[in-house]
Structure 1
C-alpha cells in the first residue's frame, strides 16, 4: 500500500485474503476495498454508484492506489465483495475500532438486532439477513456486528458478539430476546453489568414482576425500599413523560429460579406517556439488572438503549438506505453492511464540521481534503 495510507483506516484492511484465483486478478484487492470505503463514505449505496464515484475521482485516486488496469467495474467490485470472507472483513473493522477506542471504558453498550429487509433472495431461497450490533453510547461508535444464523436467532449470536468485546466495567443493555440466564451469566463473567428487558419469553418471571409492580404502584410504593426518577421532554408538538422505578430484588419474596440469574440485584419499571395533540399513549416496560437499585442509572441505561435505534438503525435506513438496498448475492449484503457501519463510525467521529451524517457524506463526495481527513486514524 502507498505510504500515504499508513495513517488511515485503510491499513487495517491490507491483510485481507484475496478470494479470487490468480488469473482473474486484474485489480489489486486493497484498491477495490479502498474505493468501496471511500465511495460509501461519499454517498454511494450500490455497486454502480461505487464505480461512478471512482470514475469521477480517478485522478485523485491514482495518487495513492495502484489501479494497474484503471477503475474496477461495478461487476468486478460486486463479485469480490460477494466472495470476500465476511468474518475476516468484520475482524478488520473490529481491529480499527479497537485502535481508536483503546479501552472501551465504563459506559452503556446497547446490543440490538436489525434485519436488512431487501437482502432476501427468493430464487436462492435466501432469507433476509439479520445482524446483531453492539454500540458504544459514549464513543457513539458501532463496536462490532455479527450475522444471525439463518436457522437460529439473536440468542445464539449475542454471546459470540460479547466474546469479541472487552466489556469489563460496562453496562450491557439488551431487549427481551436477549433476556436469558446464560447471557446474564456471560456478562457477569466478563466483569460487566446488565439491564435486560423482561417480556413474555420469561413468562412466569415477567408475570410476577408485572403484578408486583402494579400492586406497589397502586400503593405509591408505601413501605417499599425503592428509587424513583422522572423526566419530561417536549418537541414538535409532542410531550413525553417518563417515570422510572428501581427496587432491590429482595423486596420480592419469591422470584422463579432467582438463583439462576447471575448477579441479579434489582428490578425496574419504566412508564412512558406520550401526548400528541389528538391522542395519548402509555407504554410500560420491565427490566432485571445486576446493578444496585438506582432509578437514575436505570434511566440512563434505558435511554442509551433507545439511542441505538435513533443513532444507528434509523440513520442506516434513512441516510444509507440500508432497508432499500437490493444487494443480495452471497456474502455481499453482510460485507456492505460493514461498509455502512464503518462509514457511520467515521462520520460520527468527525468534529471538524457541524451537520448531519447526510451532510457530511455529501461534503465527503465533494471535498477530497475533507474525505482524506475523515479516514485518517490519528
Structure 2
C-alpha cells in the first residue's frame, strides 16, 4: 500500500535540505492525507497517526522515529502549492472524460483561519474551479487581502483546461476581459449580472420588459417545509438597444432571467421572491438548459465549500504559516474526492468516521478510488 500512497505525490518537489531529512517526503504527505481520511483535523493528529498507524500502511520504513507536529507544520509552510495542486488534479483525471459540455463553476471561499482576529473580516480567499457534473475539483488560485477576485480569475483560467466547457461565475467575475478570455480559450461563459455592471443590467431589464421570451421553463422542488418554484426565461441578446454595450461582450448571444418563488410552509406560508439575471455566449434554444446552468453553479457551494467547512472544519483551521492554508486545503479536496468515489448509504461525514474505526472500510475507500 505504501507504494500506491506515495505515488500520489510523485510530482511534488521536496523543498527541504535532503541531507538533513529523517523522513521521506512521500511518507509525510501520505500520513497527512490519511489523517484527514480518518476524520482527524490538525498537525497534532498527523503526529499521532504517524506514531500509531503509519506503519500499518508500510509508511516510514527506513526509521523507527516518528515525525512531530512541528515537522508537518514546517513542511506544509514551505511546500510549493503548485506542485501539490498538480498532483491532486492528476488524481482526478481518471474519473473525468473530455471537458466538452461540462460546467466549470468558479467561486471563492474565505480561509477564515488565515486572518488574525485583530484584522476582523479580512483574510485570504482561495478561488476554486469545480466540475459540477463530476463533483471534481480541478484548480485553485490564492486571493490575498490586497486584491479582490477579479485579477485572480484570469490566473485560474490560465491554469485549467476549459475548451468546450461552460464557465459559470458569480457577478464579480462578470467582466469584459474575463468573458473574452473564456472565449479565447475555447470555452463558453454563463455569467451572473448584478449592479456592478449597471449599464448592462439596465439593458437586460429593458429587453425583458419589451420583448417576449423565446423559451420558458418552470420546475418546483419540495424540501422539508419549503416549496421553491424556479421559472427560467431566455431572450436573444441582439434585442439590447445600446449596441455599444452589446459589442463589449464577446459573442454575447443570450440573456437569461431566473425568477425564484419560495414558500416557507412552517412560517405560515411566507413568500420570498428573487430575480437573477445572466448572460451567455451560447444560443441554445431551451430555457431548461440555462436553468440547469444556474442551478448547477451552486454545486460548488453545496458539493465543495460546504464539505470543507462543515465536514472538514476548514474554517476552524488556524494554520496560516506561508503556504500551509492552501496546501492543507488541497489535501482536504483530495480526500473529499476519494470519499465521494464510494457509493454507499453513508454521508461523507459518516464515511470518514467509519474509516477512522474500521481499517477494512478505509482500504475500501482507497481501493474504490483506484489506489
Match of residue 17, structure 2, among 15, 18, 21: 21
> Equivalent residues in 2 for 1:212-223 (5 A)?
212-213=207-208, 215-216=209-210
Could you say what secondary structure the match of 1:103 adopts?
Answer: coil
State the alpha-carbon separation in 2 of the partners of residues 369 and 97 from structure 1: 23
The 1-side partners of 2:356 and 2:207 are apart by 56
Structure 1 unpaired stretches of 5+: none
Aligned equivalents of 2:162 and 2:11: distance in 1?
26
Give the aligned partner of residue 27 of structure 2. 31
Residue 262, structure 1, aligned to residue 258, structure 2: no
- Give secondary structure in 2 for the equivalent of 1:114: strand
- 8 Å CA contact 2:355–2:361 kept in 1: the answer is yes
Shift of 1:124: 10
Partners of 2:215 and 2:5 lie apart in 1 by 45
* Secondary structure in structure 1 of the residue aligned to 2:228: strand
CA deviation after TM superposition for structure 1 residue 9, in Å: 5.7
Cα contact 1:205–1:255 (8 A) shared by 2: no
Question: Structure 1 residues 331 and 368 mapped into 2: Cα distance closer, same or farther (>3 Å)?
Answer: same
* Aligned match of 1:51: 47
Is the CA contact 1:90–1:338 (under 8 Å) kept in the aligned structure 2?
yes
Offset at residue 101 of structure 1 (A): 2.1
Q: CA deviation at 1:210?
A: 2.5
Supply the distance in 2 between the matched residues of 1:82 and 1:64 (Cα, whole angstroms).
Answer: 22
8 A Cα contact 2:312 2:332, kept in partner: yes
Distance 1:146 1:271 in 2: 32
| Equivalent residue, structure 2, for 1:202 | 197
Match of 1:349 in 2: 341
Aligned residues: 365
Cα RMSD (Å): 2.2
The TM-score, its normalising length taken from structure 1, stands at: 0.90
Q: How has the CA–CA distance of structure 1 residues 238 and 186 changed in structure 2, closer, same or farther, with 3 Å as cutoff?
A: same
Residues 296-337 of structure 1, C-alpha deviations (whole Å, 9 max, x = no match): 111010110012111111111110101121122111111111
Q: Residue 8 of structure 2 aligns to a residue in which SS? A: helix
- Kindly report which structure 2 residues correspond to 1:283-302, keeping only aligned pairs within 5 A, or say none: 283-292=274-283, 293-302=285-294
What residue number does 2:79 align with? Answer: 84
Q: What pairs up with 1:333-348 in 2 under 5 angstroms?
A: 333-348=325-340
Contact 1:43 1:361 in 2 (8 A): yes
1:308 correspondence with 2:296: no
Q: Deviations over 1:28-70 (max 9, x none)?
A: 1111101000111111111112222333314403x24425143
Give the whole-Å Cα distance in 2 for the aligned partners of 1:35 and 1:321: 19
Alignment partner, residue 313 of structure 2 = 321
Decide whether the 8 Å contact of 1:83 with 1:332 is kept in 2.
Answer: yes
**Structure-2 separation of matches of 1:106 and 1:5:** 37
Contact 2:107-2:127 at 8 Å conserved across structures: yes
Q: Does 1:367 align with 2:358?
A: yes
Match of 2:129 in 1: 134
Task: Describe the SS at the equivalent of 2:316.
Answer: coil
Shift in CA distance, 139/27, structure 1 to aligned 2, threshold 3 Å: same
CA distance in 1, matches of 2:24, 2:359: 22
Q: Residues 130 and 138 of structure 2 are in contact (CA less than 8 Å); yes or no, is this contact kept in structure 1?
A: yes
* Structure 1 position 374, deviation (Å): 2.9
